[in-house]
Each structure stands twice: as C-alpha cells, then as structure tokens.
A and B are shown apart, each in its own frame.
Chain A
Amino acid sequence: MSTEVKESPQAPVVAPRSPLFGKKERKLITDPLNDNNPITVQVLGICSALAITVKVQNAMVMALSVLAVVVVGNMVISALRNLIPSRIRIIAQLVIAAGLVTLVDIVLKAYVYDVSKQVGVYVGLIITNCILMGRYEAFAMGNKVWPSALDGLGNSLGYAWILMAVATVREIFGSGTWFGMPILGDAKAGTGLYALGYMNNNLIILPPFALVCVGIIIWVQRSRNTKLVEAA
C-alpha cells in the first residue's frame, strides 16, 4: 500500500492506516469550503455558476450532479491511477468524466424529468466544468481512493454553497420566490410587497448579475480571510 505513494511524486504523504477522519481528512473537506474554494479562490466552474443560478432548485440539482461526478470520478481515477498511462491520462480522465456525466443525465431524465428539461443542457456541460478536470488531474491522480473521495466531496460542497447562495439572492430578488415558493407576495395579484409598488428586478435574472454576486462573495470572503489577499 505505502509503496504506491512513491510512484507519484506530487502526492502529499498519506501515512498508511491513516484514520478515516483524521485532521488531514477533515481539512480535505473544509479547505475547499473557504480557503481554497473552487469558485471564489481557484475561480473554476464560473460558467455554470453564472448560467444555472436563476432558480435555487436548478442550482441544487446542478450542484448534486457535479458532486456525484466529482466524487465518483475522483474515486475511479484514484483507483486506476497506477494503471492509467501518463501519455493518455487526460483522455482517460475525460472518458470517465464524460461517461459519468452522461449517466447523470440519463438518471435525471428518468427520475426528475421536469428538472432535467430545465437543466438538461447544462448537465452535458459539466464535462467542461474545470473543477472536474482540476480535481482529477491535481488530486485523484496522486492520492488514494478515500482521500480522493473526500477531496471531491469538499470541492463540490464548496461549489455547491456558492451556487446556492447566488441562486438564493437571484431567485428572491429576481423572481420573488425561493424554491418556487412565493415569499415576497404574488407579483401578478399584487399582494405582499408588490402591493407597495415593489417590482422584481429583471437585471438580477440576467447572467451578468451572477458575476456581480460572485464578486461580492469574493470581496466579503477576502475581507474576512486576509490570508487570501495577495501581497500588493
């Protein structure tokens, strides 16, 4: 077991028989939530964060799909890491990613048809989500299966919370709903806030506002977490 580590020079040294949830393992999950967030710090997976955050439900399905693809993909690639020939490793990673994404697409069509109709186009595009290839190449190729699974989980949770946060802001202020439930009153009937002359902001529904949202999150995050700020 421990001889495997020697072959991949970039691998952090994981001690044999390391605990399932030791300090290192916990860090694999917590790091991407804040210090090493895939969206706000690594700035990966931005495209889907802009495209799929109009409704919370869609964002959640997207986040879960990415979670499945990154975690399972990380595990498969980690398990095969000593077999994958280095010359075709990117191709092999892509085949596995594409296979998993197609699988997710088929499952969504069969079980959550309505959602799949709305996010269908974007699910196919998970293949091009940089978080996938980033984690496969940077982590799974050089680490054991369990840490790879945790790393995938951490990164997709880091992706998920940003997506959900942005989608929450955009759905509430853009459509006046959250998970499809009206929370600011009924826009058509003119009840709740709408009775006072409030209107949904159409700009918030458009993709550029997602960029503004992510920007604000990055700003808040860096002002609270100063070690992320690059030296001037």
Chain B
Amino acid sequence: MAFDKNSNGFTFTFAAILVVVVGTLLAVSYMGLKPAYDENVRREKMQNILASMNVHVARDEAPAKYTELVHAPFLVDASGKKVDGDAFALDVLKQYKDWKAGVVRPEDMHYPVYPATHDGQTLFVLPLVGTGLWGPIWGYVSVKDDGRTIYGSTFDHKGETPGLGAEITQDWFQKPFEGKTFTDDKGDYTGIHVYKGGTNTTDPHGVDGISGGTITSSGVDEMLMRTLAIYDKYFKSAGTTDLTQR
C-alpha cells in the first residue's frame, strides 16, 4: 500500500470525504423528494380543513373537494379586520412559535379564515394553534354563519401521550364541540372551555376534558379561548356584508 491508512493525514482526509459524500447525497435526495413531501403536507392541511366540517376524504381526493367547498380564504388581523395576504400559505404554527419566541408581536399576527359552503349553509373554518404537554397541538373548528356556533372540529398534535393527551384526535373528544357557542345570548364573548373533571353537557360554552390528559386539555382550552376571541372580533365587525344570513 502506498499510504498508511492509519496516518493522521489519511484519517482526516477520509473523514472529510466521507462526510461530504454523505452530506451531498442527503442534500440531493432531500431536494429531490421535497416537492412530494410538501404536496403531502398541503393535502393534509386541506383534509384537516374539510374534516372540521365533518367531510372526511382520502388524501388524494382532498384538493378536488377543497376547491369545491372552500371559497376565497382570507386573513384577519389581531383586531379582527380583514387584511390582504395568502391565507392558505400562512404557516400559523410557525407564526405561533415566533410569537412565543418574541419574534412577532401579537398585534402583527394574522389569522386565516376559510369560508366554505357545505350542507346547504355557509361555514367559516378557523385554524387554531397551541401547546400541549410535549409539543404543539393544533386544530380547525368550523363556525356556522351566525358567527358563534361551532359546526364541527378536528384536533391534532405532534407528540401527546397515546391514550391520554393524544385522545384529542378522537371523535369522542371532538363531537361534543358541535353546537357549542363562544358568545352568550347578549353577544358577549365567553369562549369555549375544556373542563377538567367533566362539565354539564348542557353547558353551551364548555366541553369535557380528558382524564389523565389535563395539560393537553388545558392547551386546547387555552388555544380556543385565545384564538376564538380574535375571530369573535371579526364576526362582530363583519356585520351583514360578509356573513350572508347574520
């Protein structure tokens, strides 16, 4: 052998070449497969928006159904005013993290609204983001055209405890949201609470939390209370021009 493979020079050279080769390989394959991954994420978002209206479709059918039901999504700012911008492209989870990290001021945050027609009525799908026990939780609720009644909901999470916090993805947790309102009869904001230890199912502004999943339940409670307050401002200010049968 012409060289000593245990010399320092060769060791460093070998390590450098190996790392560069592996790094390049990963970078190239990541760039190559990223479009497919992004498309999966985009379709999943459509699936979730549809699921909040109790429309469940396979991922492949999501774009078609989404285009059929959802019309002209828009953004509202923190005071509930409609603003310009691409609602679908806004990464609300990133915005939420930036806010938590102090990068974005709360008054600069934007909130997407997805108006949709389903089941013969106009619905408004609203995304929610919050923090559970182990990481981010998020969801979508659809609101009826009275601007206060929940039509349907869907929640998901990154890594909540299976069987406990992760139950927020289950029907039994999501169903009770239907028909709940986040303002009282006088129009004052009440939000929707997730109660520990259960609540009277006739409470129009509250649902039952998850036993053993208290912190996740509180996270859902917090994200509902915080985000619906913003949307409530929008629904109140929009009046009859935007909300068809208000």
Contact = CB atoms under 8 A, between A and B. Distances in A.
Interface of A: 82-88, 91-92, 95-96, 98-99, 102-103, 106-107, 109-111, 113-114, 121, 202, 205
5 contacts: A87-B6, A92-B18, A95-B19, A110-B36, A202-B163
Contact of A110 (B25, B26, B37): B37
Given A110-B40, A111-B36, A121-B159, A85 B10 contact: yes
Given A99-B26, A103-B25, A110-B36, 7 more contacts: A83-B5, A95-B18, A96-B22, A103-B26, A103-B29, A107-B29, A111-B36
The list of the 10 closest CB pairs from A to B, nearest first, reads: A99-B22, A110-B36, A110-B33, A113-B40, A85-B11, A109-B37, A110-B37, A106-B33, A85-B5, A85-B6
Nearest to A202: B163
B97 interface: no
A84 B18 CA distance: 10
Interface string B75-110: 000000000000000000000000000000000000
B30 A106 contact: yes
Given A85-B14, A86-B6, A95 B59 contact: no
Contacts of B34: 110
Contacts of A113: 37, 40, 44, 59
Contacts of B10: 85
Contacts of B14: 83-85, 88, 92
A87 B7 CA distance: 10
Contacts of A84: 14
Interface of B: 5-6, 10-11, 14-15, 18-19, 22, 25-26, 29-30, 33-34, 36-37, 40, 44, 59, 159, 163
A85 B14 CA distance: 8
B29 A91 contact: no
Given A83-B5, A111-B36, A113-B40, A88 B26 contact: no
B176 to A, nearest CB: 17
A113 B44 CA distance: 9
B24 to A, nearest CB: 10
Given A85-B5, A109-B33, A205 B15 contact: no
A160 to B, nearest CB: 23
Contacts of A87: 6, 11
Nearest to A113: B40
Contact of A109 (B19, B40, B59): B40
A96 B17 CA distance: 12
Contacts of A109: 33, 37, 40
A91 B14 CA distance: 11
A103 B44 CA distance: 22
A121 B160 CA distance: 13
Nearest to B5: A85
Contacts of B29: 103, 106-107
